[in-house]
Amino acid sequence: MTASGRSWGATVVAPLRTLGRRWSRSLSLRIVTSTLVVGIGTVLALGAYVTDEIRDGLVDGRVERVLSESARDSAIAQERADTTTAVNPAEMQQFVYDLMLELRALGGENRGLVMLRDPANTSSIPLTVGESTTGVADIRDAISPDMREAVEGDMTQPWQFVQLPGTETPGIVVGSSLNLGVAGPYELYFVYSMADEQATLALIQRVLALGAVVLVGLVVLMTWFVTAQAVRPVRRASRVASRLAEGRLSERMTVRGHDEMATLAQTFNDMAESLQRQITRMERMSRLQRRFVSDVSHELRTPLTTIRMASDVLYDAREDFPPAVARSSELLINQLDRFEALLADLLEISRIDAGSAQLEFERMDVADVVRDEVEAMLPVAQELGVPLRLRVSEGEHTASIDRPRVGRILRNLLSNAIEHAQETSVDVSVRSDRRSTAVVVRDHGVGLTPQQVDRVFDRFWRADAARARTMGGTGLGLSIALEDAQLHGGELEVWGSPGQGASFRLLLPRTHEGIGKNQPLPLVMRQGSFDEVGPEVEFPGVDLPEPEEDR
């Protein structure tokens, strides 16, 4: 398509799109337009019906009068011809001339006369006047061959509609035969103009058109007025509802009168009042809950510090204790580590809920962050016999991120995948496009059911509370990871299937435009698709276990 074609298409399509948006967003416009279309259609149908009826009435009346008049004058002409005493050409010529004058006087100016010699006439008396025309000029051209054939065939008073020559005026031609005695048979045609009926019909059509315009205008104005009265309260309710959605819970509709709209406004206000009470109560309870969690977390730190100091002393001297006491000191240290992690997660959750979480963005390579976190998890993966593989696609992966929070997201995803891999491989892939960077962490272990996928980001929820956990866990890691991803303007998605493993995809925006709709990596990556991302990243000095399928 050429540039001019695209420009013309944009010129046509843009107004149509604007009109479509206005149509879809304005109830008043839809009602008025629908009324206008129905009104115009009804008026056109009614106008066409009325016009047809009037035209048929005018034409039928005119035809009836024409046939009656032409039958009368044909009879008069034949009577004059039967009683004439003219016998020679001169007398017959004068008779025809006088007859034509008499017929013209009977018909008036709106009727023309044509007398033509019958082709079967064998008389030797020529009548030149009888073959002349009167009335409209060139009116003889209105006589069609079919009309002449009907008259020659002795049809009783044949007639037809014609258009008068040289004009756009309709007319009627009525034919008859005339026997002039010694002059032989002739054809007599009466040509009537319907100019008066045409003018009458045009006047009626103009009146109907003017009435239709006035009627449609009145209908549109009435519809607009009624619609405005009905829609105005709805618009006020929509504005109030929007303010309520923005958090302005004190907004209310104005109640006027006692009609249905007033009842709607009062009901809306009652609903808003109930919502305000419930939201206020829930906010108060939420604030108390957050404060309780924050206070408890802070208050527990002091005794926890004391317990930590005492447990460290016991742990350092465990070799001097009996085996049971030494083992107890080790268990105490492990549980204190979990307790401190739980307190840290609770404090972070309370900060997020309170909206006080602060991010310190810096421009860096997300692939480097992923590489550091994977390298940090390699010892744990080796201990559990889980092959941990990293693949990074070519190109830049820079984005503005809060390094500690993104690292925490990745640690949660990696530890969760290693924990549930069951000695199968864990694959980590990184790829970027113009708008976003995607990190996919895929394990091939126990997997997740659809019900578990729906709850995997819930706080304190675990897929199997009875499962032994080698790396601890508080049940808050994935929920905090989701919050961190959303604080970056990104997304954290999950997929799982029983026996096929689980996959988590972290999406981080690279520009102010957001992550977009087309993602660099799919959420569910199959075995063969990992090699398409890029070559496997090697970690010097690390002896990775072989994947189960390669053993």
Q: Mind listing the pLDDT tens digit for each residue in 364-412?
A: 999 999 999 999 889 888 888 888 889 899 888 999 998 988 998 999 8
Percent of the chain surpassing pLDDT 90: 9
Please state, in angstroms and rounded to a whole number, the distance separating the CA atoms of residues 136 and 132. Answer: 12
Tell me: do 229 and 297 sit in the same domain. Answer: no
Is the model more confident about 506 or about 549?
506
Which positions ≥6 away from 423 have C-beta within 8 Å?
Answer: 384, 385, 386, 548
Tell me: do 235 and 293 sit in the same domain. Answer: no
Tell me: do 26 and 118 sit in the same domain. Answer: yes
Q: Does any domain span residue 254?
A: no
Q: Mind listing the pLDDT tens digit for each residue in 136-170?
A: 456 788 888 888 888 888 788 899 988 888 788 88
Q: Does any domain span residue 3?
A: no
Q: Does 550 score more than 50 pLDDT?
A: no
With vertex at residue 144, the alpha carbon angle to CA 140 and CA 146, rounded to the nearest 5 degrees, is 150
Domain total of the chain: 3
Tell me: do 84 and 228 sit in the same domain. Answer: yes
Tell me: do 135 and 223 sit in the same domain. Answer: yes
Closest CA to 32 of 228, 224, 216: 224
Q: Mind listing the pLDDT tens digit for each residue in 178-198?
A: 888 888 888 888 988 888 888
- Band of the pLDDT at 504, cuts 50, 70, 90? very high
- Band of the pLDDT at 467, cuts 50, 70, 90? very low
φ/ψ of 382, rounded to 5, equals -65, -40
Whole-model pTM: value is 0.49
Q: Does any domain span residue 528?
A: yes
Q: What is the CATH number of the domain that holds 442?
A: 3.30.565.10
| Contact of 233 with 269, CB cutoff 8 Å | no
Tell me: do 404 and 348 sit in the same domain. Answer: no
Please state, in angstroms and rounded to a whole number, the distance separating the CA atoms of residues 189 and 141. Answer: 12
Residue owning tokens 């017959």: 92
Tell me: do 87 and 136 sit in the same domain. Answer: yes
**Sheet with 133-134, edge to edge strand ranges:** 133-134, 111-117, 185-193, 170-179, 159-163
Residue 76's domain comprises: 11-246
| Contact of 192 with 164, CB cutoff 8 Å | no
Is the model more confident about 453 or about 475?
453
Q: Does 471 score more than 70 pLDDT?
A: no
- Band of the pLDDT at 284, cuts 50, 70, 90? confident
How would you classify the pairing of strands 111-117 and 185-193? antiparallel
Q: Residue 483 carries which side chain, given as an amino acid letter?
A: E
- Band of the pLDDT at 131, cuts 50, 70, 90? very low
Q: Mind listing the pLDDT tens digit for each residue in 65-122?
A: 989 998 999 999 889 988 888 888 888 888 888 888 888 888 877 788 888 888 888 8
**CB atoms closer than 10 angstroms to residue 366:** 24
Tell me: do 335 and 466 sit in the same domain. Answer: no
Tell me: do 239 and 305 sit in the same domain. Answer: no
Question: Within the chain, how many helices (H) and strands (E) appear?
Answer: 12, 12
Please state, in angstroms and rounded to a whole number, the distance separating the CA atoms of residues 378 and 385. Answer: 10
- Band of the pLDDT at 356, cuts 50, 70, 90? low
Please state, in angstroms and rounded to a whole number, the distance separating the CA atoms of residues 43 and 216. Answer: 8
Among 192-196, 312-316, 436-440, 472-476, the range scoring the smallest mean pLDDT is 472-476
Please state, in angstroms and rounded to a whole number, the distance separating the CA atoms of residues 362 and 496. Answer: 33
Would you state the structure tokens that stand for residue 173, as one six-digit string? 């031609």
Q: What is the pLDDT of residue 44?
A: 84
Q: Mind listing the pLDDT tens digit for each residue in 521-546?
A: 888 877 667 778 878 877 765 555 55
Tell me: do 37 and 128 sit in the same domain. Answer: yes
> Average pLDDT over the chain, rounded to whole?
80
Q: What is the CATH number of the domain that holds 105?
A: 3.30.450.20
